Copies of this chain bind each other. A is one copy, B any other.
Amino acid sequence: MDRGLVDVVRRFNRTVTQRVGALDDSYLARDRPLAQSRLLWEIGPAGAEVAALRTRLDLDAGYLSRLLRTLEGEGLVAVGPGEGDGRVRTARLTDAGRAEWGLLDGRSDDLAWSVLEPLSAGQRARLTSAMAEVERLLMASLVTIGPCHPGDPRARACLRAYARELAGRFDAGFDPAGSGVEDNELIPPAGLFLVATVSTEAVGCGAVRLPADEPAEIKRLWVSGTVRGLGVGRRLLDELERHAAAAGAGSVRLDTNRSLTEAMRLYRSAGYQEVPRYNTNPYAHHWFAKPLT
């Protein structure tokens, strides 16, 4: 624990959070209680499912319901049935609600501008790029990695995104049906499936197979675009290797497609060496292996 760095983070938390945060709240709440304003804001012009609002704002179901009734009473929101599932209801802004939302949106712009306005052009550029950097790296530090059943909704979401991306990037497209790995090969003790999440959203995954008679094999390493370049892939890979080593594997291998250049860069920098073809995966062009200590 580095005192100097910790102090910078503490100072930052203190000043930025309190000054900017308090300002932000006071701008959002106009006459209305803050919780109502936040909810109105979160519903947005496109509307939102009540369930989504609950998780996004982290509110008690009863409390949220009551807040929605109040906003309905003021004629700002209408809660109606959703599209598919008949239990899920959707909150939409009325015309008056949309007008109010627009007002909040404008105030939010004003607040942001009031931060930039006193600064010179050069300072504005430095401030915004530093803000973007803080945001990205804070995002990186909020990524948590943990084991997960491959049938879990978070895992499913990752695998869907993974397949969609491969389909878009491979010259020959990609058909997930023939990927040749069963879910139960990725459940301990046969293997392990990891997801990387930010709060509740899954932003990456990776798996390792641990067959009894062959080397361990990394499968389905994927990182969402929102956190790419932040070391999440490396953390997933490290964790999978650690697990394989703990399970007694002496080495680990993997295959990849020639269009996945960042992935190959990652493997090389993580100590993988290219090896001859060891399987018949039609989508693979390169095979890598790494000894485990």
**Considering the complex, which residues of chain A in the window 1-29 have a beta carbon less than 8 Å from any beta carbon of chain B?**
1-2, 5-21, 24
8 Å CB contact of A1 from B14, B113, B134: B113
Q: Please state the number of chain copies in the assembly.
A: 2
- In the assembled complex, A263 has its CB within 8 A of some CB on chain B: no
Distance in Å: Cβ of A7 to nearest Cβ of chain B: 8
- In the assembled complex, A69 has its CB within 8 A of some CB on chain B: no
Chain B contacts of A291 at CB under 8 A? none
- In the assembled complex, A96 has its CB within 8 A of some CB on chain B: no
Q: Bound state CA distance, A24 and B19, in angstroms?
A: 13
Chain B contacts of A120 at CB under 8 A? 231
Q: How many residues of A contact B (CB 8 A)?
A: 55
- In the assembled complex, A164 has its CB within 8 A of some CB on chain B: no
Distance in Å: Cβ of A244 to nearest Cβ of chain B: 21
Which one of A59-67, A77-85, A137-145, A253-261 contacts B?
Answer: A137-145
A131 in contact with B128 (CB, 8 Å)? no
8 Å CB contact of A140 from B8, B123, B134, B135: B123
A8 in contact with B131 (CB, 8 Å)? yes
A115 in contact with B130 (CB, 8 Å)? no
Q: A6-B112, A119-B137 are in contact. List 17 more A-B contacts (CB 8 A).
A: A6-B109, A6-B113, A9-B112, A9-B116, A10-B109, A12-B131, A13-B21, A13-B24, A13-B112, A15-B139, A16-B131, A16-B134, A17-B17, A115-B138, A117-B141, A118-B140, A123-B231
